[in-house]
Amino acid sequence: MKWTLKKGKKRDLFLYTQRKLTVTYTWLIILFLVLFSIIVSVFFIIMAYQEQSNSLRTTMNATEAGNVVIPKLENNRKDDLYFFYVLDNQGKVLAQSDAIPELSEYSLKLIRDWQTDGDEFRLRWLPEIHKLQGNVMLISESRVLFVGAHSIMTTEGVATIYAAKDVTFYWSILRTLLIVFSVILIVFIIVAIKLSSSMSKKAMIPIQQTFRQQQQFLADASHELRTPLSIMNTSLDVIELENGETITPYSKEVVSDMKEEIGRMSRMVQHLLLLARSDIGSDEFEMSTFDIVPKLRGWVQAFEGVAQKKAITLRTMLPKTLTVKGDPERLKQLVYILLDNAIKYTPEGGKVDVGLDPNPRQWRIIVRDSGIGIAEADQPRIFDRFYRVEKHRSREEGSAGLGLAIAKQIAIAHRASVVLESEPGKGSTFSVEFPV
């Protein structure tokens, strides 16, 4: 399994949260406007539908002395009635009236295949028509028709009345309404972004103040704890020197345990201080250009004694020279953390390899071990503070779960990425990739 901690600048948690709040507020405002636009548009469509359908139903049901009333539509656009047809089941026209009789053939095409058993209403689009009538060219603009169908019984059998109203005006109003809503939506998006950004900034101010106070307290407390821990460690050394011959074996064991715990606490305080300074931005890195090969060789040699205690083979694969830019002390700390973890979680008789991979685009520090490996579910979290894969074993080893969190901060400061390849029982490979 391969997992990557991507390179880049340290993510500002507050800026990230502020942007998330801005997006949330903006979407809420936009959602409200969109819902309002939809409700208004649907209400307009329903009202127009009811008005036009009632008008058509009245026209199609109109009778006089038991006969269907055929309105005279030619040269009379009252109520925008466009045509009125009565067709039998075979599609034969029994009666008709058109606002524009010359274009009746186009109107009939809209209803030829429409069969109904009751009252139905449909929208039909009549495209722009150009028709040569003698020496005159008739031009009819495209229009939207609201067509109704109503079945009746005649002496010749069942027939259907088709009537249409020109609702192009309503369609234009709806289209204009949607355009206006779209323009308002664009304006609202701009206003919403600015308003949401301002609101999110104000919302984050008390949270930022509280967080910075906590981080400053942590940094101050960690710094102040170093002195008493140093005094306690020195006091134990004095006790051993003054009472070396008279102190009992049990007391020696107690003093040794106390020194071990003080050492563990000192390391934890040092790590907490480094992370706290990093959080508040007061941790400075001294970047310089240097040859990392001899330094890395010396850093690895410092762990040879620890590796020999567990019969672990510690090997290096280094080029003759490699000039890099970075903070030597921080890179040393990074290598120490990776080597310490590799040796700590590799069983006796295992192997740990350390290498450098020079590349024109990036160079890499590689630490590979034959240890217990890391489960896929744990890999994304191993760089979190105080996270330990095997909590009981880590506590016995003296680990507080801060090493890889510090390594992460060092990598971020160098704009590096960490690639982890691991599988339980087959070891792990940490590859830190630095840009050239």
40-67: pLDDT as tens digits: 888 888 988 898 889 888 888 888 877 8
Segment 158-176 shows an average pLDDT of 87
Q: What pLDDT, in 10s, does the model give residues 303-360? A: 888 888 889 889 988 888 888 888 888 898 889 889 988 898 898 889 999 998 888 7
Q: What pLDDT, in 10s, does the model give residues 2-35? A: 556 555 555 566 677 777 777 887 788 788 888 8
Percent pLDDT > 90 in the chain is: 3
175: confidence class by pLDDT, cuts 50, 70, 90: confident
- Looking at residue 279, what is its pLDDT? 59
- Looking at residue 226, what is its pLDDT? 60
Query: How crowded is residue 111: how many other Cβ atoms within 10 Å of its Cβ?
Result: 21
Highest mean pLDDT among 240-254, 274-288, 422-436: 422-436
Segment 217-236 shows an average pLDDT of 65
User: Per-residue pLDDT for 282 more than 60?
Assistant: no
Residues in the chain: 436
- Looking at residue 367, what is its pLDDT? 92
Whole-model pTM: value is 0.51
Residue span(s) of the chain under CATH 3.30.565.10 come to: 285-436
Highest mean pLDDT among 247-251, 274-278, 317-321, 403-407: 317-321
Segment 414-436 shows an average pLDDT of 87
User: Per-residue pLDDT for 244 more than 70?
Assistant: no
Give dist(CA 431, CA 414) in Å, integer: 14
- Looking at residue 394, what is its pLDDT? 47
Please state the φ and ψ torsions of residue 423, each to the nearest 5 degrees: -150, 130
Q: What pLDDT, in 10s, does the model give residues 385-418? A: 766 665 544 444 545 567 788 888 888 888 888 8
- Looking at residue 129, what is its pLDDT? 78
- Looking at residue 185, what is its pLDDT? 82
- Looking at residue 115, what is its pLDDT? 79
CATH number for the domain whose boundaries are 62-166: 3.30.450
Segment 98-114 shows an average pLDDT of 83
Domain 285-436 has CATH 3.30.565.10: yes
Average pLDDT score over the chain: 79
Specify which residues 326 forms β-bridges with: 288
User: Per-residue pLDDT for 1 more than 60?
Assistant: no
Residue span(s) of the chain under CATH 3.30.450 come to: 62-166
Q: Which residues, 6+ apart, have CB-to-CB distance to 342 below 8 Å?
A: 352, 367, 368, 369, 371, 428, 430
